[in-house]
């Protein structure tokens, strides 16, 4: 059980599941309770003696005690159980990191800073689903998983309450920035190299990576980025952020300029309003949830709209997703998994219009005449959203500076008789190299093929952290250029392909541009 002295005090570690050492929930910020609520974070107060390993994770409040869980044994319960959290409404202090390292020495290993998914309302970096010791030990890197403020506590935008609250809609992202400062100041004491920091995230975590991309105050704190199933070109407007906050304040009988009063309310009361708001139907174009905002203060321009922010043109980037993202979200839609061609055509007409819907069905049936209608449906949905990843790769390549790499996870999990195919989050056990573990068995089946995919993906991410180029001697990976448009297809036998999605890429461009 090693002890490391950080700039704020000593912390005790423990053995990692796969070897090396784990330092659980190490503070990088001060308390955010009371007057710290909705305020930019501050460094932690120094402590005396050795901080022992906490008995449980300190994560952002996020569990609705009135929520009805999925029935035991259901397909939805099997999937959602992987990421179940032991949250609490008793404290909002959550500014901490969990560090995994092969050794407490002077090896100066690459650093991989993980930003968890769960939208901007749930999840934590200390969840066992992101257990980082295998990635750290097998890749000889230092992995840092970040906890930060979420939902109303991290992203309620309330500028009408005065100067102190002008950044309140982005304090959750400012937490991550402070964590990166902590990495810069402390990571060498854990065997890491502060000059080789990869920031990577999936789903909402990918959106957090994109937000950091457009924050001048975060410039220089990271040196490569990976955006996994979370390509975010535009952040929420100030108007939408203010609107959601005003609706929450109204639930508590407060006016738009009473954020100071919201600071003083008990945590349970604030979170109850947050949960109530999330259940209400949103007005057209008016979200009820909370997310980072383009405030021209913390975030000074959109990340990838109309072009890639030139501020980080010198930083290399990986972006991509899974091949059938949407199956993970449609477990309650039984009909979607047994469509006939008429049902497929009806759904696509409703989604994108009669002319475009018919064109989509005709194209995909032509490209894959033997595929079942439901398979075509899930591929259409995923290809439609994957366009954002492709556009980011195109914008990055157009800068003609640091390179971009595009990927897609093609491997289909055998669980549930193959129903899920390649769902959202299937890349997580691969990149963390834990595809055979019990935690992810309901998703991967813990079959040998899953481990082969995991080795290919985790090695690519490790090499990217190490050198800024994910290609390895075992698996070369050409960068994405506007001339070739190479895409890495991760599968049992991973390989790259020249413009692998040309027909569907051009089709969805035409749909977005109104040409179809």
Are 199 and 280 spatial neighbours (Cβ–Cβ below 8 Å)? Answer: no
> Going by C-beta distance under 8 Å and a sequence separation of 6 or more, which residues neighbour residue 346?
none
Active-site residue flag, 203: yes
Measure the CA–CA gap between 312 and 216, rounded to whole angstroms: 9
The residue annotated as part of the active site, out of 168, 203, 214, 382, is 203
Measure the CA–CA gap between 269 and 434, rounded to whole angstroms: 38
Radius of gyration of the chain (CA): 22
Query: What tokens appear for 79 in the block?
Result: 């999937």
Query: What tokens appear for 317 in the block?
Result: 């980037």
**Phi–psi pair at 236, nearest 5 degrees:** -65, 145
**What are the Cα distances from residue 116, in Å, to 191, 200, 203, 296, 387?**
23, 9, 8, 25, 22
Are 464 and 224 spatial neighbours (Cβ–Cβ below 8 Å)? Answer: yes
Q: Residue 83: which of 474, 465, 426, 436 has the closest Cα?
A: 426
Measure the CA–CA gap between 44 and 447, rounded to whole angstroms: 44
Q: Residue 60: which of 173, 130, 150, 126 has the closest Cα?
A: 150
Query: Which residues are identified as catalytic?
Result: 203
């Amino acid at each position: 059980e090693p002890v490391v002295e950080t700039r704020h005090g000593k912390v005790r570690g423990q053995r990692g599941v796969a070897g090396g050492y784990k330092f659980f929930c190490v503070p990088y910020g001060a308390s955010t309770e009371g007057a710290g609520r909705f305020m930019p974070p501050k460094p932690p107060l120094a402590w005396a003696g050795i901080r022992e390993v906490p008995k449980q994770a300190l994560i952002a409040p996020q569990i609705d005690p009135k929520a009805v869980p999925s029935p035991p044994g259901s397909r939805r319960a099997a999937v959602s159980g992987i990421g179940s959290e032991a949250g609490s409404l008793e404290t909002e202090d959550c500014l901490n990191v969990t560090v995994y390292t092969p050794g407490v020495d002077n090896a100066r290993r690459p650093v991989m800073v993980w930003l968890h998914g769960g939208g901007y309302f749930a999840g934590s970096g200390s969840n066992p689903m992101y257990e980082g010791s295998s990635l750290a030990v097998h890749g000889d890197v230092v992995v840092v998983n970040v906890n930060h403020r979420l939902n109303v506590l991290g992203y309620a935008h309330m500028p009408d309450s005065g100067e102190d609250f002008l950044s309140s809609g982005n304090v959750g992202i400012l937490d991550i920035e402070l964590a990166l400062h902590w990495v810069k100041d402390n990571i060498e004491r854990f065997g890491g190299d502060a000059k080789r920091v990869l920031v990577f995230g999936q789903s909402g975590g990918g959106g957090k990576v994109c937000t950091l991309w457009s924050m001048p105050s975060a410039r220089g704190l990271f040196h490569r980025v990976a955006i996994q199933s979370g390509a975010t070109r535009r952040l929420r407007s100030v108007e939408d952020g203010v609107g959601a906050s005003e609706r929450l304040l109204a639930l508590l009988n407060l006016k738009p300029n009473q954020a100071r009063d919201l600071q003083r309310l008990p945590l349970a009361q604030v979170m109850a309003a947050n949960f109530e708001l999330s259940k209400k139907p949103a007005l057209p174009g008016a979200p009820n949830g909370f997310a980072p905002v383009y405030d021209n203060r913390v975030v000074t321009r959109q990340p990838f709209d109309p072009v890639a922010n030139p501020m980080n043109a010198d930083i290399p980037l990986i972006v991509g997703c899974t091949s059938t993202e949407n199956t993970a979200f449609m477990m309650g839609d039984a009909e979607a998994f047994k469509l006939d061609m008429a049902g497929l055509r009806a759904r696509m007409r409703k989604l994108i219009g009669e002319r475009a819907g018919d064109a989509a069905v005709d194209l995909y049936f032509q490209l894959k005449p033997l595929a079942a209608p439901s398979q075509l449906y899930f591929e259409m949905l995923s290809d439609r959203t994957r366009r954002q990843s492709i556009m980011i790769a195109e914008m990055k390549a157009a800068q003609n500076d640091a390179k971009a790499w595009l990927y897609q996870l093609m491997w289909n999990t055998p669980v549930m008789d193959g129903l899920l195919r390649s769902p959202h989050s299937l890349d997580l056990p691969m990149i963390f190299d834990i595809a055979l573990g019990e935690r992810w068995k309901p998703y991967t089946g813990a079959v040998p093929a899953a481990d082969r995919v995991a080795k290919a993906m985790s090695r690519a991410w490790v090499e990217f952290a190490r050198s800024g180029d994910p290609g390895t001697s075992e698996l070369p990976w050409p960068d994405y250029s506007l001339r070739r448009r190479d895409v890495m297809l991760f599968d049992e036998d991973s390989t790259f392909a020249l413009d692998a999605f040309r027909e569907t890429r051009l089709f969805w461009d035409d749909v977005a541009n109104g040409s179809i």
